[in-house]
Amino acid sequence: MEYRPSDPVRLNEAGDRIIIIDQTKLPGEILCREIEKREEMCDAIKSLAVRGAPCIGIFAGYCMAVLAGQEAKKQKDFEGFASALAEASAYLNSSRPTAVNLSWALKRQETVIEGCRQEASVSEAVKRLYEEARRIHEEDIAMCLSISEYGLSLLKDGDGILTHCNAGPLATSRYGTGLGPIILGQERGMHFHVYSDETRPLLQGARLTAYEMVEAGVDETVICDNMASLVMKQGKIDAVLVGCDRIARNGDFANKIGTSGVAVLAKYYGIPFYVLGPVSTIDLSCTSGEEIVIEERDGEEIRSLWYEKPMAPEGAKFFNPAFDVTDHSLVTAIITDRGILREPFEESIRSIF
Ligand code: MRU
């Protein structure tokens, strides 16, 4: 696995620490941090220093490998090693509830440990956990490229595209999902005009999508979330592209708060609404969006995070759900690394597994 300095998550040379680009500092500062303790790992996910569903999955895979290396120095006996890692996995899994990629990657690593039980070799388990972590990362790179190709096949040169939150290289690996077709198209000489919802309250669109679009040389305009209807009405938008955190079996999906409102608007204005995500984001155990747990975050993020002084009076209450669920009836197509899925989603989703 060859890492690039722009990878939001990668291993250091010794393989005993994870280097992350702290996404809370972007775009003002490109701060790389080295993470080794499990509390730091959990905190990096909770604070959104590492964020975006696929990126959290990649990070979780490496976390388990690094923690296994540490545990191997303390535990010579396989059972003690396995139970310490099961505990670490449960701890990491408690950091954020909505993106399925976290539990998906942790389960993959738990399966690796299970597969080593008969042999009962701690050093072999550590080696395989590192291999699996790199595999998760490499697979995500390939999936993002494939999603980008499928997505690009639905766009025309010159299209105006609206996007919400950030589903680019920082949230995944290399091309990204929601932004992948745009970056790939730009590399091939196509031109799009991207409108990025700033995405209140944490501004992933204004800070991160805009940063990635500038880096890629894409023509881009940041708008406030409440301007999406206007740009659609003005005929500036030919397609909406968004990422996803968990797709249910019926095609309902969770993504950053505000996504479902954009989908309702797109339906009203007759604009195709595309959801882009790897198969690792499909949760077959989830029958519909009703079962998706929505993370609720501190109201202080709304009240004061980006302001010199709080923007609401003392005594005001806040409700800060980090995600919402978009009904599958509003989705034109789900673009995965295994193809473009359309209604009936129950069938098209089943067909790719
Ligand atoms: O809270 P965040 O910033 O982790 O939310 C991220 C999103 O909602 C993304 O759109 C989603 O994870 C897809 S990333 C390819």
Q: Return the structure tokens found at 16.
A: 């005993």
- Region 195-222 average pLDDT: 98
DSSP 94: T
Ligand 1: centre distance to CA 38 (Å): 22
Ligand 1 pocket residue status of 207, Cβ below 6 Å: no
340's enclosing H/E stretch is strand 339-341
User: What are the pLDDT digits (tens) for 145-155?
Assistant: 999 999 999 99
Q: Is 78 strand, coil or helix?
A: helix
Q: Return the structure tokens found at 231.
A: 């740009």
Question: What is the rounded distance in angstroms from the CA atom of residue 250 to the CA atom of residue 290?
Answer: 11
* CB burial string 129-148: b at 16+ within 10 A, e below: bbebbbebbebbbebbbbbb
Ligand 1 pocket residue status of 96, Cβ below 6 Å: no
Q: Which atom of ligand 1 approaches the CA of 165 most closely? A: 10
How much is the pLDDT for 228? 98
Ligand 1 pocket residue status of 199, Cβ below 6 Å: no
Q: pTM to 2 decimals?
A: 0.97
Q: What percent of the chain has pLDDT over 70?
A: 100
User: What are the pLDDT digits (tens) for 297-309?
Assistant: 999 999 999 999 9
How much is the pLDDT for 168? 98
Residue 124 pLDDT greater than 90, yes or no: yes
How much is the pLDDT for 1? 87
49's enclosing H/E stretch is none
Ligand 1 pocket residue status of 171, Cβ below 6 Å: yes
User: What are the pLDDT digits (tens) for 255-291?
Assistant: 999 999 999 999 999 999 999 999 999 999 999 999 9
CA angle 141, 204, 236 (to 5 degrees): 90
User: What are the pLDDT digits (tens) for 10-69?
Assistant: 999 999 999 999 999 999 999 999 999 999 999 999 999 999 999 999 999 999 999 999
Ligand 1: centre distance to CA 140 (Å): 15
Q: Return the structure tokens found at 211.
A: 């940063």
Given the structure tokens 């396995």, which residue do they identify?
82
Residue 21 pairs with which residues in a beta bridge? 32
Q: Return the structure tokens found at 76.
A: 């010579």
Q: Which residues are catalytic?
A: 245
Ligand 1, atom 6, residue with closest C-alpha: 52
Place 75 in a pLDDT band, splitting at 50, 70 and 90: confident
Ligand 1 pocket residue status of 177, Cβ below 6 Å: yes
Burial label, 34 (beta-carbon count in 10 A; 0-12, 13-18, 19+) = exposed
Question: What is the rounded distance in angstroms from the CA atom of residue 332 to the CA atom of residue 58?
Answer: 28
- Structural domains for the chain: 9-144 (1.20.120.420), 153-351 (3.40.50.10470)
DSSP 296: B
Q: Which atom of ligand 1 approaches the CA of 202 most closely? A: 3
How much is the pLDDT for 76? 78
Place 93 in a pLDDT band, splitting at 50, 70 and 90: very high
Q: Which of 275, 287, 277, 293 is nearest to 332 (CA)?
A: 275
- Region 235-239 average pLDDT: 98
Q: Which atom of ligand 1 approaches the CA of 164 most closely? A: 10
Q: Return the structure tokens found at 309.
A: 């002084």
Average pLDDT, the chain: 97
Ligand 1, atom 15, residue with closest C-alpha: 167
